[in-house]
Amino acid sequence: MRWSMRSAYMVGGMWSAFVACDFSGNDTNNFRPDVVYCEEALSYLASCCPKFDAGAVSCQYAYYSGATCFDKDGSPSGLAPTFSQSESQCILDESCKALVSTGVCARAEVHDAPGICP
Amino acid sequence: MKASLTWASASGALLLAFPVYAQGPGATELPPITVLPPLPISPPESPTPLPLPLPLPLPLSPPPSPPPAPMTSASRPAPAFEESIELRLDGGATYRNLFGIPMSMGTVEMGVGAHVSQHLAVYMAFQLDVGQTATGLAARAYTLAPSVEWVADRFRLGTGVELLWFDLIRASNGSALGQGGLGLHLGVSVDVLTLRRVTAFVGVRGQLDVLLGPEEASCLESVTGIGGLRF
């Protein structure tokens, strides 16, 4: 009985310390419209542009607030999808023929940077 | 009558032929006997058939009973209801929409339930959807859905809640982009054929799920056309 009470206090203390560190500002959930649209655009480019390598482009999202238990004012960092939602939408709105003729495919094949459409 | 006259004529002829005996003894000279040929005697004619008596009125039979009236649903006695366990296996095509991105999926579903009263059935079903978006991103959905169905003859109207897990496979690295959620579904089906204890049905079902993210929720709308069997 005594050990059970001691264990309960220990778990409660650890949980309080974890909450006090405030990691809630971090966001690594990728089920977001910009990520899904980016992946959709990659799939479309892969079907329209023969030399396009979808694996060379990242559609990852992450946000870290930078706050830690010892430094609550740490600088934030993170990742954003290579194609924003509007750029992905631009790619998806074009026909395959237009993607080739306007040079979108050529730019997508050599760059993984945003700004390829149109 | 005609026979009597014939016999009378024959008798008269015989009396004229034998006058001697009629005068008696003592006559002086007898004239030569003239023998008359016998008159033809026609056999008595058969009596004319009497007209048949008028038919007596036959004994009255009870009037024919009117044909039985066709059984109607109102007059037909309701069959006794028996609680039963049911299995359901169905499949179909599902159209889903996530963030405005359309996707088409194939659906299979297996459920077990109980027909608990004349008009009520409860079910627990597992649904698996596999498909892709318009550009070819693979998608999967796993749904666990308890439901209540209102049963009216061949028609069923069902609704319930559901737990869902949705996966979208990334084009960039092939990993799954998944999210869980809660939802509601509403469906209607009609039984089209019943053989023994197996019933074939078709129907349509709508689903509205909310995928719960840490920051924001997103909606997943679905419409499914189904066909299946119920045992």
Residue whose token pair is 């005068």:
B23
Q: Are B99 and A33 in contact (CB under 8 A)?
A: yes
pLDDT in tens, B157-190: 999 999 999 999 999 999 999 999 999 999 999 9
pLDDT in tens, B188-200: 999 999 998 899 9
Rounded to whole angstroms, how far apart are CA atoms A76 and B95?
40
Domain ranges of chain A: 25-110
Q: Is the pLDDT of residue B13 over 50?
A: no
Domain ranges of chain B: 1-47, 84-230
- Nearest chain B CA: its distance from A70 CA (Å): 25
ipTM passes above 0.90: no
**Three-state SS sequence of A45-90:** HHHHCCCCCHHHCCCCCEEECCCCCCCCCCCCEEECCCCCHHHHHH
Q: Are A47 and B136 in contact (CB under 8 A)?
A: yes
Rounded to whole angstroms, how far apart are CA atoms B54 and A7?
120
pLDDT in tens, A14-61: 776 666 665 667 778 888 899 999 999 999 999 999 889 888 888 989
**B99: alpha, beta or left, given left = phi > 0 and alpha = psi -120 to 50?**
left
- Nearest chain A CA: its distance from B135 CA (Å): 5
Residue from B153, B112, B145, B116 nearest B224 by CA:
B145
Residue contacts between A and B (CB atoms, under 8 Å): 61
CA B47, B51, B56, B58 torsion-angle sign: positive
Using a CB-CB distance cutoff of 8 angstroms, which residues of chain B are in contact with residue A60?
A: 172
Q: Is the pLDDT of residue B154 over 60?
A: yes
Residue from B208, B213, B219, B181 nearest B100 by CA:
B219
Look at residue B218 in the predicted model and tell me its pLDDT.
87
Nearest chain B Cα to A60, which residue?
A: B172
pLDDT in tens, B73-105: 556 666 677 888 999 999 999 999 999 999 999
pTM: 0.67
Q: C-alpha distances in angstroms, B209 versus A46, B3, B123, B125? A: 30, 119, 19, 16
Q: Is the pLDDT of residue B122 over 50?
A: yes
Whole-number average pLDDT of chain B: 80
Amino acid at A101: S
Q: Is the pLDDT of residue B26 over 70?
A: no
Residue whose token pair is 């649904």:
B127
Q: Within an 8 Å CB–CB cutoff, is residue A44 touching chain B?
A: yes
Specify the higher pLDDT residue, B40 or B108: B108
DSSP state of B195: E
Rounded to whole angstroms, how far apart are CA atoms A62 and A32?
11
Look at residue B60 in the predicted model and tell me its pLDDT.
59
Looking at the domain B84-230, which fold is it?
Porin (2.40.160)
B168 vs A27, A29, A36: nearest CB: A36
Q: Within an 8 Å CB–CB cutoff, is residue A102 touching chain B?
A: no
Sequence-separated (6 or more) residues with CB below 8 Å from residue B220: B96, B97, B98, B164, B166, B181, B183, B207, B208, B209, B210, B211
Whole-number average pLDDT of chain A: 82
Look at residue B91 in the predicted model and tell me its pLDDT.
95
Rounded to whole angstroms, how far apart are CA atoms B40 and B28?
34
